[in-house]
Structures are given as C-alpha cells and as structure tokens.
C-alpha cells in the first residue's frame, strides 16, 4: 500500500513549551515513510496543529508515537488557552489523499483508538465519517464542556467513550479520532477587540446559525424539545468568534467542503457583515495546509482578467484578495499541500 497516501492532522494542547513541541516533532520525524509538512504553533490558543502525510501503516505509527510523547509531557490540569480543547491530544483526524479511501482512514482511526485507549489509558471518541452515533459526527459536539466538564460528561450514558474506560484521565483528558474529508482551518481578523462582535458575524455565516429567541430573549423550543435555530448563510461551515491577540478579534472557521464553501465566499460575506457593525477586515490566516484547488478558485474570483491561467499567478492573486500576506509573508510552498509535498521530497 505504498502508493496510498494518508494525511493526518493531530492537534496537541501545547503551544508555549518549545521542548514539548520539539519532542512531538522528533517522534514524527523518526518515523520512516512519513513526511512532516507543517507545524502551526498558536501561543494564545496554547495549541499546535501538525500536518503530516504517509502510507497507512507509517501514518498510524507516527500518530501513535507523537501522541504518546504528548501524553507524557502535557498535563491538562495546568492547561489554559483560548481554543476549545478536551485533551492533551485533542483530535487526530485521518484524511484520504492519493489512492486512498474513507474506509481505509476509518480503519486507521479505529486502530489508533484501540492502541491509545489500551496503552495510554486515554478514553477515545470516534467522530466524522467514523462516528458510531449521529451526535458524534460533529467534533464540537463531542468537545462541548471541554476538559473541565468531561469528568461528569463521560459518566453520562450517551457519552460513554467508544474506546477506553468511562473515566476522565485527569492528566491527559480524552481524545477524538476519525476519518474525514479535507478540512481547511481559516480565520479572518477584524479591527476590534470585542469577541462578541466576531461571534455575531460567525453566527450569521456558519451552517448551524444561531438559536431562535423570543422578544424576551428566551430560547424558542421546538416540538422535539430542542431549541430552534436560524440557519446560517453557508453550508459545510463551522465558525465562532475568537481572539487572535489581545487587540484583534477574529472569525475562526473550519471549511468542511471547500468545493461548496470556499475562501472567497466567507471572506466577502464577513466583509459585508463587518461593515454592518462598523468594522473592517484587516487580515486573514490559514492554519495548516490546504489543497491547490481551493486557492485557484479564490484566485479566479479575485482575478480581473480572463487571460490569467497560470497557477502561480492565480495563487498570488488569491493571497492578496484574501489578505493572507498582511500578518506575515505568505509562502505558498509551505501552505499548499501539493506544492509542499514536492518541496519536501526534493
């Protein structure tokens, strides 16, 4: 199966201790037939997102080795950070690339869950395409309550983990793993330090929308006993208001299917909603890597001429249109999967 390529994007709850991050990195680099494509370290989030690719057996080995290092070095009892999290290794998704299928990725995720729950005594939930229950398809739904709330949540009948004991590991928390399609983590920054305003915009555009409320501000409950929601503008989009730093609020997003909802769709909509609130979009950032096609589509949208067909030119146009080059220099070879693989393999 050497011609089968799987991407893995583990999220570790550490973005400040350089020694811990280096140890996790070394565990991956020591694994044969795995290419480390990107390390995105977020100090405010206190979170590191790593992107790596390899064949099925190698990518599983790298995921397990790096997770074991994280469990040893990270203590969730002392962890604080802006991003929602529930464990030292928060989530480990497997994504099909070349000649791969979702079924292969699900098999790898299950093997990962078996090993981690048994050898590390960490409860594991399956999500995405690997989910065993409908309410476990969505990662935010599993993560709700975060690390602090899981000591009680994990005891509930509906939240017994798929693998491992129904007891919170007080040091390492719980972990989610699964198979999913390519996800793009993309954030748009605003000229305000008010996270609530960013969350208002997020509610307007995300698929789940916002809760419906009556004139007194109470939730409107439907016939099924659940709160009613006003759907958001886009499909296949998760979004929430976060802080980029102390002075900058952001709309933090996961584009679950960039062929349905792409960079330019959310950027232009956020610009419009921000203007209604008297705000401006000042920059954006890509967390991890994304496919070339996502950039080419944005480039075609922002391109003023039908004569430009060069991939390099379209990518450059997309970078400028999306304001990806404002915070720092944006290097396509480090952020586009196809180009990064070529670069790393020489």
CATH label of the domain that carries residue 88: 3.30.990.10
Low-confidence residues of the chain, pLDDT below 50? 1
Q: Are residues 175 and 279 in the same domain?
A: no
Choosing from 159, 179, 199, the residue where a domain stops is 179
Q: Are residues 195 and 166 in the same domain?
A: no
The SS3 assignment for 188 reads strand
The yes-or-no answer on residue 264 being catalytic is: no
Structure tokens at 306: 């039908």
Centroid of chain to Cα 269: 21
| CATH number (domain holding residue 253) | 3.30.70.670
The reply to whether the predicted model has a pTM over 0.85 is no
Q: Are residues 33 and 156 in the same domain?
A: yes
Per-residue pLDDT at 2? 56
Choosing from 179, 210, 244, the residue where a domain stops is 179
Q: What is the torsional sign of CA 41, 45, 47, 52?
A: negative
| Domain extent at residue 212 | 184-344
Task: Specify if 122 maps to a domain.
Answer: yes
Task: Specify if 1 maps to a domain.
Answer: no
Q: Are residues 269 and 313 in the same domain?
A: yes
Taking the CA atoms of residue 312, residue 315, residue 321 and residue 327 in that order, the dihedral angle to the nearest 10 degrees is: -100
Long-range contact pairs involving 26-29 (C-beta distance under 8 Å, separation at least 24): 27/62, 27/65, 27/66, 27/68, 27/69, 28/52, 28/62, 28/65, 28/66
For 205, the enclosing helix (H) or strand (E) is: helix 195-205
Q: Are residues 21 and 143 in the same domain?
A: yes
Specify the number of domains making up the chain: 2
Residues 173 and 76: beta-carbon distance below 8 Å: yes
Q: Are residues 163 and 206 in the same domain?
A: no
Task: Specify if 292 maps to a domain.
Answer: yes
Q: Are residues 230 and 258 in the same domain?
A: yes
d(CA 221, CA 212): 8
Centroid of chain to Cα 257: 13
């Amino acid at each position: 199966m050497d011609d089968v390529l799987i991407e893995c994007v583990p999220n570790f709850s550490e973005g400040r201790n350089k020694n811990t991050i280096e140890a996790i990195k070394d565990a991956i680099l020591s694994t044969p037939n795995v290419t480390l494509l990107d390390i995105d370290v977020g100090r405010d989030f206190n979170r590191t997102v790593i992107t790596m690719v390899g064949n099925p057996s190698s990518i599983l080995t790298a995921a397990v080795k790096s997770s074991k290092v994280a469990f040893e070095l990270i203590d969730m009892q002392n962890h604080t950070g802006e991003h929602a999290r529930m464990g030292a290794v928060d989530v480990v998704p497997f994504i099909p690339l070349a000649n791969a299928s979702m079924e292969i990725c699900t098999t790898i995720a299950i093997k990962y869950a078996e090993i981690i729950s048994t050898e590390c005594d960490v409860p594991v939930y399956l999500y995405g395409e690997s989910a065993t229950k409908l309410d476990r398809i969505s990662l935010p739904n599993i993560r709700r309550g975060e690390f602090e709330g899981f000591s009680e949540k994990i005891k509930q009948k509906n939240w017994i983990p798929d693998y491992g004991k129904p007891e919170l590991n007080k040091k390492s928390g719980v972990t989610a793993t699964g198979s999913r399609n390519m996800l793009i983590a993309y954030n748009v920054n605003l000229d305000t330090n008010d996270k609530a305003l960013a969350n208002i915009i997020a509610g307007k555009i995300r698929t789940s929308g916002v809760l419906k409320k009556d004139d007194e501000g109470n939730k409107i409950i439907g016939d099924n006993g659940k709160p009613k929601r006003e759907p958001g503008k886009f499909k296949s989009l998760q979004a929430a208001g976060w802080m980029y730093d102390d002075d900058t609020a952001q709309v933090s997003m996961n584009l679950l299917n960039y062929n349905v909802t792409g960079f330019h769709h959310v950027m232009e909509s956020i610009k419009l909603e921000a203007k209604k609130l008297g705000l401006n979009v000042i920059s954006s950032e890509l967390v991890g890597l994304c496919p070339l096609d996502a950039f080419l589509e944005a480039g075609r949208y922002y391109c003023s001429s039908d004569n430009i067909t060069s991939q390099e030119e379209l990518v450059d146009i997309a970078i400028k249109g999306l304001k990806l080059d404002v915070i720092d220099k944006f290097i396509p070879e480090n952020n586009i999967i196809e180009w990064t693989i070529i670069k790393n393999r020489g």
